[in-house]
Structure 1
Amino acid sequence: MKHIESVALVLPAFNEEKDLPALLARIQETLTGQNFRYEVIVVDDGSKDRTAEIAREAAQTMPVTLIQHGVNKGLGMGLQNGLVAGMKAADAVVVMDSDNTHDPIYVMDMVSELEAKGVDLVIASRYRPGSVIVGLSAFRKLLSLGCFWLMKTLVPFRGVRDYSTGFRCYDSTVLKRMAQTYGEDKLVEETGFVCMLEVMLKLRSIGATASEIPYTLRYDLKAGVSKLRIWRTLKRYLVVVNRYRGKRAPASPIASMTPGAMTGTTHERKVA
Structure 2
Amino acid sequence: MDISVVVPAFDEAESLPELTAWIARVMEAHNFTYEVIIIDDGSRDTTWETICQLHQQHPSVHGIKFRRNYGKSAALNTGFEAAKGDVIITMDADLQDSPDEIPELYRMIMEEKYDLVSGWKAKRYDPVSKTIPTKLFNAATRKMSGIDNLHDFNCGLKSYRRAVVKNIEVYGEMHRYIPVLAKWAGFRNIGEKVVEHRARKYGKTKFGMSRFINGFLDLLSIFFVGKFGKRPMHFFGTMGVLSFFIGMVMAIWIIAEKLEHIANNEPYRNATDNPLFYFALVAIILGSQLFLTGFVAELVSRSASDRNKYQIEETV
TM-score (norm 1): 0.78
Counterpart residue number, 2:26: 30
Counterpart residue number, 1:203: 182
Say which structure is richer in strand.
1
Q: Which residue type is aligned with residue 224 of structure 1?
A: G
Instruction: Kindly indicate whether the alpha-carbon contact (under 8 Å) linking 1:7 and 1:94 is maintained by their aligned counterparts in 2.
Output: yes
The answer to whether residue 78 in structure 2 is matched with residue 99 in structure 1 is no
Q: Matched residues in 2 for 1:244 and 1:70: separation?
A: 28
Counterpart residue number, 1:189: 171
Instruction: Kindly indicate whether the alpha-carbon contact (under 8 Å) linking 1:125 and 1:162 is maintained by their aligned counterparts in 2.
Output: yes
Q: Matched residues in 2 for 1:176 and 1:75: separation?
A: 17
Counterpart residue number, 1:236: 214
SS at match of 2:203: coil
Q: CA RMSD in A?
A: 2.1
SS at match of 2:179: helix
Specify which structure has the bigger relative contact order, considering alpha-carbon pairs within 8 angstroms and separated by 6 or more residues.
1
| C-alpha displacement of 1:254 | 7.8
Q: Which runs of 5+ in 1 are unaligned?
A: 179-186, 257-272
Counterpart residue number, 2:51: 55
Instruction: Kindly indicate whether the alpha-carbon contact (under 8 Å) linking 1:164 and 1:197 is maintained by their aligned counterparts in 2.
Output: yes
Q: Provide, for residues 122-161 of structure 1, a one-character-per-residue CA deviation record: whole Å limited to 9, x for no partner.
A: 11112xxxx322x322332222222221211222215322
Instruction: Kindly indicate whether the alpha-carbon contact (under 8 Å) linking 1:165 and 1:196 is maintained by their aligned counterparts in 2.
Output: no
Instruction: Kindly indicate whether the alpha-carbon contact (under 8 Å) linking 1:46 and 1:68 is maintained by their aligned counterparts in 2.
Output: yes
Q: Which residue type is aligned with residue 111 of structure 1?
A: Y
The answer to whether residue 308 in structure 2 is matched with residue 252 in structure 1 is yes
| C-alpha displacement of 1:32 | 1.5
TM-score (norm 2): 0.68
Q: Provide, for residues 7-58 of structure 1, a one-character-per-residue CA deviation record: whole Å limited to 9, x for no partner.
A: 0101111111122222112112222242421110011112121111211222
Q: Matched residues in 1 for 2:109 and 2:118: separation?
A: 10
Counterpart residue number, 1:213: 193
The answer to whether residue 162 in structure 2 is matched with residue 172 in structure 1 is yes
| C-alpha displacement of 1:206 | 1.7
Of residues 204, 211, 223, the one that matches 2:202 is 223
Q: Provide, for residues 54-83 of structure 1, a one-character-per-residue CA deviation record: whole Å limited to 9, x for no partner.
A: 112222332101111122222221111111
